[in-house]
Structure 1
Amino acid sequence: MEKLQAALEQARKARSERAISSETEAVAPSIDEKAPDSLSERWQALSPFEVQDKILVKHRVVTQSARKEATPFDILRTKVVLQMRQKGWTRLAITSPMPSSGKTTMACNLALGLGRQRDLRSMLFDFDLRDPSVQDFFETRPAYGISEMLAGAVRFDEQAFRFGDNVAVSMAQHSEPDPTRILLAEETAERLDGIQAAYEPNVMIFDLPSVLVNDDTRAFLKNADCALIVVRADTTHYGQFETCQREVAEHTNVLGVVLNAYRHDKRAFQTA
């Protein structure tokens, strides 16, 4: 796996050299205006958006502020950051064996939890292009779709939003009939390399489709440093998890597994 990761990193560096200049040009507001020449200016150029706390909580996104409900996600955030920093990784894919496991909820909570770390810059990309839902979680609709941005039709700063000062969110506007074509494209890889070079995020989170329903996630995982697998205790079969973990490990590093929707019987912990 280390040899595979080294090969992926070498390929990414080669793409990044070609992409840095193109993305730097892409963040310019127009031909006649000077492009932001500092990192902070590039982040501030992203359109800010706000979401009421009650809307986020309605969608089970609770990490925008420190609270009891955010603690499990905060623990996950710390573990993820420490492991990725130790390995020198930046790109985190979040997926699941089957749909309705809570991966998008996990991705949104992790992104906003990272946002509370003022020294970190994070990005969230909705790459579940057949069934995008990040815009529903934030109840915010982008002016342009993520596929248009990846194809170079619009700039990243025209398509993405900024939550607070240090979280960028790139949402899909509508479902795509052939997402694999986009996720497998070298153009997508180069575009992401350019965004990473221009904005220098500490963590890039990719909300991907479930592994066992189509080939979209397999097409993209080569671009991720590692992956987090979300399984749902009451619906995911062990065979599904085992197959998902094996397939993910063929393309990237498995950072960990999150068991979601676990309900323990408190009576089992009571003593007579």
Structure 2
Amino acid sequence: MEKLQKALSKARQERSGVTREAPQKRAPVAPRAARPPSEASDNFPEIWQKLKPLDPDPRHLSANRIMTLNALPEANPFDVLRTKIYLLMRQNGWTRLAITSPNKGCGKTTTACNLAVGFSRQSEVKSMLFDVDLRRPGVATMLGQQPEHDIRELLVGEVAPEDQMLRLRSNVAISMARRPVSDPTQLLLSQKTVQTFDNIQAQFEPDVMIFDLPPMLVTDDARAKLKNVDCALIVARAEQTRMSQLDVCEREVSEHTNVLGVVLNNCRHMGAEEDYYGDYS
């Protein structure tokens, strides 16, 4: 991981002298005032109660590497990531987080699902997960669900959010796809889609909105959505993602939004300090 960070730092320095057109950013949002946990549930808009409950099978989640439903040692790496993300986004007044990767197979959907499910254990935090990897949607499969309505129907206004999204526990809303979309870029660039997400944010008042995006270097779908988020997390896979691919991915993401960080997935080399909670438990 240290070598990865050094290589990324060197690449950033080498391109620091290159002049690029400044990306258009969404208007900044003022940081929210802290709320006492006892008051948090009282501040949930009534529309949350209209969402159909989602009750995933823990065995199915575990088989798909979704480890964060309960506070177990296996969930700790994602819990740490969840907390870091939440604190950084709150500090900057950000709400919308995109998760992408350089190429397929890096684990971005696994990461997105683990974060969303992990947030369900933080009852005072309202979170949402949207599967917008529309060519190859995977959230429904990972969670073992088959939603009644497709996310495409939500984006084009054919179905209301409260009829399309499912609610995990009391505080996580999840919007899933039933089938692939043939031309996702057109849908994601549509002003109707932009307005739909704006309306959802206004109605549900989430603290965190997570968007599972397609890989950056495969299609142009991710770029169509990045311009409408506050920040992005890049997921790379150890022994698979090349440094050159990660550098290009980071550069292209930074042209559209803020890079929140890079996650190295499937890393087999852990120090004793990183395995502390496994030994402790």
- TM-score, L = length of structure 1: 0.84
**Equivalent position of 1:176 in the other structure:** 181
Aligned residue for 1:241? 246
Partner of 2:26: 8
Amino acid at match of 2:106: S
- 52, 57, 66: which one aligns with 1:52: 57
| Aligned structure 1 segments of 4 or more residues deviating by more than 3 angstroms | none
Q: Please say if 1:261 is aligned against 2:279.
A: no
Equivalent pair of 2:51/2:163 in contact (CA under 8 Å) = yes
Aligned counterpart for 2:72 among listed residues 67, 73, 76: 67
Aligned-pair CA distance for 1:214:
0.3
Q: CA RMSD in A?
A: 1.8
User: Match of 2:218, SS?
Assistant: coil
Q: Counterparts of 1:4 and 1:182 in 2: how far apart (Å)?
A: 21
Note if 1:134 corresponds to 2:105: no
Q: Secondary structure at the match of 1:112?
A: helix
Cα contact 2:45–2:203 (8 A) shared by 1: no
- Deviation of 1:41 after TM superposition, in Å, equals 2.1
CA–CA separation in structure 2 for the residues paired with 1:4 and 1:185: 19
* 1:146 Cα offset (Å): 0.5
Q: 1:84-134, CA deviations, whole angstroms, 9 ceiling, x for partnerless residues?
A: 000000000000000000000000000011111111000000000000010
Give 2:199's aligned residue. 194
SS at match of 2:142: helix
For 1:127, the aligned partner's letter is V
Change (3 A) 1:113 1:265: closer
Amino acid at match of 1:9: A
* 2:133 partner amino acid: D
For 2:211 and 2:58, the matched residues in 1 are separated by: 23
Take 2:111 and 2:236, find their aligned partners in 1: how far apart are those partners? 11
Could you tell me the percent identity over the aligned residues? 52
SS at match of 1:125: strand
Paired with 2:91 and 2:270, the residues of 1 have a C-alpha distance of 37
Distance 1:206 1:172 in 2: 13
Gaps of 5+ in 2: 1-19, 30-42, 273-281
Give aligned pairs, total. Answer: 239
TM-score, with length taken from structure 2:
0.82
Partner amino acid, structure 2, of 1:245: E
In the alignment, which of 137, 142, 150 is matched to residue 145 of structure 1?
Answer: 150
